[in-house]
């Protein structure tokens, strides 16, 4: 028996893809290699009753069309709006808090710099306007410059929106896109803490410091889908990303999608240039008219399909994709919430330790020479403050990302590969936070550390990169996953890609899954 489509992987994009295919009337099978639907996005129990998202920070910027088409609210999806969205911890104690209400953030900034406070709202609005443009781009297939002209048609509307920004903002947009975040922030603000916090957000998903070109774009990228001024916290789902997976699982099953776990694919079988079936680790085979893989372009095409059917230049391009997550994730189960000195409200959103732009750049300096940052940039969340489903009553879960950690430490004895190295890094991160929240060490009930290598071996995330391809200028739009192949198709007929490594990338959006399913459906119909 032959399925219309088989989806490899069961992350958010793959489930959106599967549900969209089934919604198009197709017979769909999802194969998940791991024991749980969701893969790297499935919730894990740190201790009984303590739920964490292993590698994701939040539910990204869920494409409204996905929410609407899949009716995710019917399957338990509930969106939360933690406030404050961002708390930037100061060296000297205390914090700068960013709120959903830009006026309230202005007041908070005014305590540190009247000049910056005066500039905040205009900056936030302008960044939001720019992010809206990117959002427009994210919801469509990336136009390929060398592709057919019709691919450009939807972007005429986008061009109008860019012009609607007005002359000065339009010029500013094109100035900002390739700019280092460092320059953008130095141009605008004087307060080191404010600049440091935004600088830390600009290097998420990158193995670069804020002085690198294109980091301003990354800062904007992370704003897509957020309300004005909501730097640092995007869509938050009850139950975490694991909660999103449960809703998508429900929506997919309701549309008739068949899901199998513990089904590791060994090989994509190809006949005369067309993907026809899959061979599983248990030796069984399963046939399909189309295969949609969320396993990353290089893994799918080089490891599963093999380079036989691929042109050498294409193979070369696949091998050039840079995946460098550059962070370690430390999960903590806590008996009580950390109490930050000088912070009145619970820090329900993102907590950042990056007191200045130079601090962030220096943290990267270590990493670019193959060593973990001496003073890492920390980005932490205590999602249980806003979501009581994640921990037993009164207890909490906290996730800390320590940036930067090279994928392969230069010296493995000082290194980053072993459990000892991970523990040392976690100790350092906890100690840094404890300087601001002294009750933290005593509250820890359980701890788990994931180094980039762990993310790679455990979740198949190359380079420990949850984005599966750095968000660098040369790896976006029509160049994602490789130049000229942004339309979810591959040189092998019947084999398609979705997931974070494809456009639009940089977060969970559902857009990649939705757009890839569109490509599959169009081809299946063309095929009869």
Partner 1 sequence: MTTAAVRTTPFHSRTAALVRGHTWRHWAGYVVPASYDLIHDLEYAAIRGTAGLIDVTPLFKYRIHGPAARALLDRVVTRDVARSKVGQVLYTPWCDPEGKVLDDGTVTRLAEDLFRLTSAHPNLRWLHQNAVGMDVVIEDETYDTAALSLQGPAARQILNLVADRDLTKLKFFRAAETSLGAIPATVTRTGYTGDLGYEIWVANDRAEALWDLLIAAGAPHGLQPTGLLAMDVARIEAGLILIDVDYVSARRALIERQKSSPFELGLGWTVARDKAPFVGQRALERERVAGSAWALRGLVVDWDALEELYADVGLPSQVPALPWRTSAPVYVGGRQVGYATSGCWSPLLKKSLALAHLEAPHAAPGTEVEIEVTVEHRRRRALATVAKTPFFDPERKRA
Instruction: Give contact residues for partner 1 (rule: CB under 8 A).
Output: 273, 302, 306-309, 311-313, 315-316, 319
Shortest separation between residue 309's beta carbon and partner 1, angstroms: 5
Within 10 angstroms of residue 411's Cβ, the number of other Cβ atoms is: 9
Shortest separation between residue 294's beta carbon and partner 1, angstroms: 21
Q: Which is nearer to partner 1, 95 or 492 (CB)?
A: 492
Shortest separation between residue 519's beta carbon and partner 1, angstroms: 20
Shortest separation between residue 301's beta carbon and partner 1, angstroms: 10
Distance (Å, whole) CA 334 – CA 19: 37
Q: Which residues touch 503 (CB under 8 Å, ≥6 apart)?
A: 138, 141, 142, 476, 477, 478, 480, 486, 512, 515
Taking Cα atoms as reference points, which of 503, 500, 499, 496 lies closest to residue 524?
496
Residue 453 near residue 422, CB atoms below 8 Å:
no
Shortest separation between residue 39's beta carbon and partner 1, angstroms: 24
Q: Which is nearer to partner 1, 335 or 493 (CB)?
A: 493
CA 161 from chain center: how many Å?
26
Backbone angles phi and psi of 119, in degrees to 5 = -95, -15
Place of tokens 């198709």: 489
Q: Which is nearer to partner 1, 45 or 313 (CB)?
A: 313
Residue 371 near residue 414, CB atoms below 8 Å:
yes
Q: Which is nearer to partner 1, 309 or 459 (CB)?
A: 309
Backbone angles phi and psi of 324, in degrees to 5 = -140, 90
Q: Which is nearer to partner 1, 158 or 302 (CB)?
A: 302
Q: Which is nearer to partner 1, 76 or 307 (CB)?
A: 307
Distance (Å, whole) CA 13 – CA 271: 27
Shortest separation between residue 311's beta carbon and partner 1, angstroms: 4
Distance (Å, whole) CA 514 – CA 526: 18
Q: Which is nearer to partner 1, 291 or 471 (CB)?
A: 291
Q: Which is nearer to partner 1, 314 or 488 (CB)?
A: 314
Shortest separation between residue 492's beta carbon and partner 1, angstroms: 10
Taking Cα atoms as reference points, which of 9, 167, 89, 94 lies closest to residue 359?
89
Tell me the torsion sign for CA atoms 390, 391, 393, 394. negative
Q: What one-character-per-residue DSSP string does 463-485 give? A: GG-TTSS---GGGSGGGSSSTT-
Q: Where do the H-state alpha helices sit in 75-180?
A: 102-110, 114-138, 154-164, 167-176
Shortest separation between residue 312's beta carbon and partner 1, angstroms: 4
Distance (Å, whole) CA 341 – CA 109: 18
Shortest separation between residue 302's beta carbon and partner 1, angstroms: 6
Q: Which is nearer to partner 1, 308 or 413 (CB)?
A: 308
Q: Which is nearer to partner 1, 309 or 364 (CB)?
A: 309
Shortest separation between residue 170's beta carbon and partner 1, angstroms: 38
Buried b (16+ CB within 10 A) or exposed e, 133-155: bbbbbbbbbbbbeeeeeebeeeb
Backbone angles phi and psi of 258, in degrees to 5 = -95, 130
Shortest separation between residue 308's beta carbon and partner 1, angstroms: 5
Q: Which is nearer to partner 1, 275 or 363 (CB)?
A: 275
DSSP conformational letter for 207: S
What are the tokens at 67? 């929410």
Three-state DSSP at 5 gives: strand
Q: Which is nearer to partner 1, 101 or 266 (CB)?
A: 266
Q: What angle do CA 283, 289, 293 make, to 5 degrees?
A: 70
Place of tokens 């193959």: 370
Q: How many CA atoms lie within 13 A of 309 on its CB side?
A: 20
Taking Cα atoms as reference points, which of 357, 355, 252 lies closest to residue 37?
252
Shortest separation between residue 234's beta carbon and partner 1, angstroms: 37
Distance (Å, whole) CA 244 – CA 488: 23
The strand pair at 495-497 and 285-293 is best described as parallel
Q: Which is nearer to partner 1, 313 or 408 (CB)?
A: 313
Shortest separation between residue 304's beta carbon and partner 1, angstroms: 11
């Amino acid at each position: 028996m032959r399925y219309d489509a088989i989806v490899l992987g069961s992350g958010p994009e793959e489930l959106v893809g599967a549900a969209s295919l089934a919604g198009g009337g197709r017979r769909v099978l999802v194969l998940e290699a791991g024991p749980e639907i969701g893969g790297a996005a499935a919730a894990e129990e740190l201790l009984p009753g303590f739920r964490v998202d292993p590698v994701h920070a939040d539910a990204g910027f869920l494409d409204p069309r996905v929410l609407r088409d899949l009716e995710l609210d019917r399957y338990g999806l509930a969106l939360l709006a933690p406030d404050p969205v961002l708390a930037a911890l100061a060296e000297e104690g205390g914090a700068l808090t960013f709120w959903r209400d830009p006026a309230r953030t202005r007041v908070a900034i005014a305590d540190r710099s009247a000049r910056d406070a005066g500039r905040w709202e205009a900056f936030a609005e302008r960044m939001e306007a720019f992010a809206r443009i990117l959002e427009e781009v994210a919801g469509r297939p990336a136009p390929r410059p060398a592709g057919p002209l019709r691919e450009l048609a939807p972007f005429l509307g986008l061009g109008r929106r860019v012009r609607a920004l007005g002359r000065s903002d339009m010029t500013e947009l094109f100035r900002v896109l390739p700019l280092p975040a460092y320059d953008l922030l130095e141009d605008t603000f004087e307060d080191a803490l404010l600049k440091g916090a935004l600088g830390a957000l600009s290097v998420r998903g990158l193995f670069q410091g804020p002085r690198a070109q294109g980091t301003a774009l990354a800062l904007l990228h992370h704003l897509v889908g957020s309300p004005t001024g909501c730097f640092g916290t995007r869509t938050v789902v009850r139950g975490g990303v694991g909660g999103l997976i449960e809703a998508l699982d429900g929506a997919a099953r309701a549309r008739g999608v068949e899901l199998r776990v513990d089904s590791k694919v060994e090989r994509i079988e190809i006949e005369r240039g067309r993907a026809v079936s899959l061979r599983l680790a248990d030796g069984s085979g399963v046939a399909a008219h189309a295969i949609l893989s969320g396993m990353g372009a290089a893994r799918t095409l080089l490891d599963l399909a093999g380079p036989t059917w691929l042109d050498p230049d294409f193979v070369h391009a696949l091998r050039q994709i840079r995946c460098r997550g550059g962070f370690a994730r430390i999960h903590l189960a806590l008996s009580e919430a950390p109490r930050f000195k000088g912070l009145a409200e619970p820090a329900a959103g993102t907590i950042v330790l990056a007191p200045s732009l130079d601090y962030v750049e220096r943290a990267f300096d270590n990493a670019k020479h193959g060593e973990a940052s001496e003073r890492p940039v920390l980005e932490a969340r205590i999602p249980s403050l806003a979501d009581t489903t994640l921990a037993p009553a009164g207890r909490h879960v906290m996730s800390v990302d320590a940036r930067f950690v090279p994928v392969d430490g230069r010296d493995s004895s000082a290194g980053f590969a072993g459990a000892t190295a991970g523990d040392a890094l976690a100790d350092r991160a906890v100690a840094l936070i404890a300087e601001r929240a002294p009750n933290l060490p005593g509250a820890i009930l359980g701890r788990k550390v994931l180094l980039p290598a762990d993310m790679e071996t455990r979740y198949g995330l190359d380079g420990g990169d949850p984005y599966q391809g750095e968000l660098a200028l040369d790896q976006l739009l029509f160049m994602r996953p490789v130049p000229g192949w942004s339309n979810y198709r591959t040189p092998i007929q019947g084999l398609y890609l979705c997931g974070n490594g494809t456009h639009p990338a940089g977060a969970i959006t559902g857009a990649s899954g939705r757009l890839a399913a569109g490509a599959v459906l169009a081809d299946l119909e063309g095929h009869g």
